[in-house]
Chain A
Amino acid sequence: MNDMTDESRKPGDPERREFLGKVTGAVAGAGVAAACWPFVRSMYPAADILEKGTSTIKLGNIAPGEMKTVAWQGKPVFVLHRTDEQAERMMHSEGGNKDPQSDEQRVQKPDWLVVVGLCTHLGCVPVRHSDGWSCPCHGSEFDNSGRVLKGPAPTNLMVPDYRFDDDDAIVIGEV
């Protein structure tokens, strides 16, 4: 294979070279992505923090008409033991116009309301009164179903995932 006299030597097969280059690049890229994964994942909450993602609340010591504020994932949650009268009124009212929802959609049992206690406007903790909550920051009003009636809040108070653990406790953060 004496190519020394051939003046127009082609440097191999350029298409093949390009293809091999692209494939190598793809495999290298996959390798780099795989190498990045543990670092990215390490920033996700560790197991013990995830474990604190649920809060268990005993319901026995909350009398009808009383509300307890509990911590869940660092946020306040209102656990309201509604009187029959309050529950009745909420079941038959439509709440506000901004975020129409029926009371049924927001409770699992009519005498217990569980909502995140942060105003959906800018996150202040609303103040409790007998007909619901008032937010001191910009004047939003919420009813006894946590629905926004007036004020700058755009949506109703958020209902977190929760489930009843028998009848005497709820676990917030789990379905």
Chain B
Amino acid sequence: MKNRLIEWIDERFPLSSFVKDNLTSYPTPRNLNYWWGFGFLAGFILVLQILTGIFLAMHYKADAGLAFESVQYIMREVNYGWLIRFLHSTGASAFFVVIYLHMARTLYYGSYRAPRELMWWSGQLLLLLIMAAAFMGYLLPWGQMSYWGAQVITNLFRATPFIGDQVVIWLRGDFSVGDATLTRFFALHYLVPFLITGFVVIHLIALHTVKSSNPSGFNLADKHNIPFHPYYTVKDLFGMAVFFILFCVVLFFYPYFFIEAENHIPADPMVTPSHIVPEWYFLPFYAILRAIPDFMGGVIAMLLSILVYGAMPYLDRSRFPGGARHRPFFRLMFYIFIIDVVVLGYVGAQPPGDTITVVGQVATFIYFSIFILLPFVSYFEDRWLIKRGLPLELQCLLDAKKCDLL
């Protein structure tokens, strides 16, 4: 009965062939490790955020006089409202954890290189969209941190040349963050995840065109591919189970971990909190913003710090694919980069001070230096590796015909 129905559909719609070509029989490298599971995880969290978000929107009131109360109403009165709210707030942080690990994998293994540039850039666009959604979502509870975080960040648009002041007022819909800002942020916060979904589809179409990279760096021959189902469906589900355990620990035992204490106070436009801090996932960029004393310079530095990733396919001038696997200097730069981002994150959370400002400036300098030095390091690393005599793997990476590994 079910087969007859599927046959009927298949005559009119490429259902079975689509599922077979893109899901069940989709050829995947046999050696993918768990770092390749974060994309799937990100997709799952996107669905979770949309689901919980829609159900929250059934009870949330996007009005400056009602918003804070409506969140309390959800927490206390709505059946399972507390659970849906915490799923959404924990999910937002989980989203960034997963995305940053996903990006780390891509940087480490060089998955941004040709022919995967469009994947990298669509991913970058997705990152910007997620950041926008998170920023707007954070205003909605209308707590002190919500309000003042939005006030500070919308103020940055003052840096727009010539029309800066007008842009800020246009963005807010008012002279300062207010009810007009809240309602439009709610409308856009509801919209953006669907834009994200659209670009995820584009991201996946690109992926299915160039196929996954793999940890070895080799472009494996077809015979080394295995069907996605059951091998990677099971592997991804197992990874998701591990992730879910950690997620649920936070969700049920430490749900307020990511919610700033200051945000339990309703927004007061007359009183600024002593210590404004963005959500943790924005901290490194916030640190870079504050590191530059000049206002315009800080804004430009912050924008560049996000956009610079786009240049990676061209900054990496090595001829060896596979990223850090076979390249010791690249690997060292990667680890320095990770440590630097963590340091920047720490700096972003601190109140301004003499020492911490210098630390932030040094860390910012290192951040951009890594990108600037990459073309030179990668080029000379190649020559250094060739002079020392390439191990077999690297010879094969350069010229697959030299080995019978493939």
Contact = CB atoms under 8 A, between A and B. Distances in A.
B55 interface: yes
Nearest to A49: B77
A42 B55 CA distance: 8
A43 B79 CA distance: 7
Interface string B67-84: 000000100011111011
Contacts of B77: 46-48
Nearest to B48: A35
Contacts of A42: 55, 58-59, 78-81, 84
B51 interface: yes
A19 interface: no
A39 B73 contact: no
Contacts of A39: 51, 55, 80, 84
A53 to B, nearest CB: 14
B363 to A, nearest CB: 42
Interface in B51-97: 51, 55, 58-59, 73, 77-81, 83-84
Most buried by B among A42, A43, A44: A42
A78 B60 CA distance: 35
Contacts of B78: 42, 46
A60 interface: no
A39 B79 CA distance: 9
A43 B83 contact: no
A38 B85 CA distance: 12
A165 to B, nearest CB: 26
A142 to B, nearest CB: 38
Interface string A39-65: 101111011100000000000000000
B240 to A, nearest CB: 12
A47 B77 CA distance: 6
A43 B57 CA distance: 11
A38 B84 contact: yes
Interface in B79-123: 79-81, 83-84
26 contacts: A38-B79, A38-B80, A38-B83, A38-B84, A39-B51, A39-B55, A39-B80, A39-B84, A41-B79, A42-B58, A42-B59, A42-B78, A42-B79, A42-B80, A42-B81, A43-B55, A43-B58, A44-B79, A46-B59, A46-B73, A46-B77, A46-B78, A46-B79, A46-B81, A47-B77, A48-B77
Q: Which 10 A-B pairs have the closest CB atoms?
A: A38-B80, A46-B77, A41-B79, A42-B80, A46-B78, A42-B79, A38-B83, A39-B55, A48-B77, A47-B77
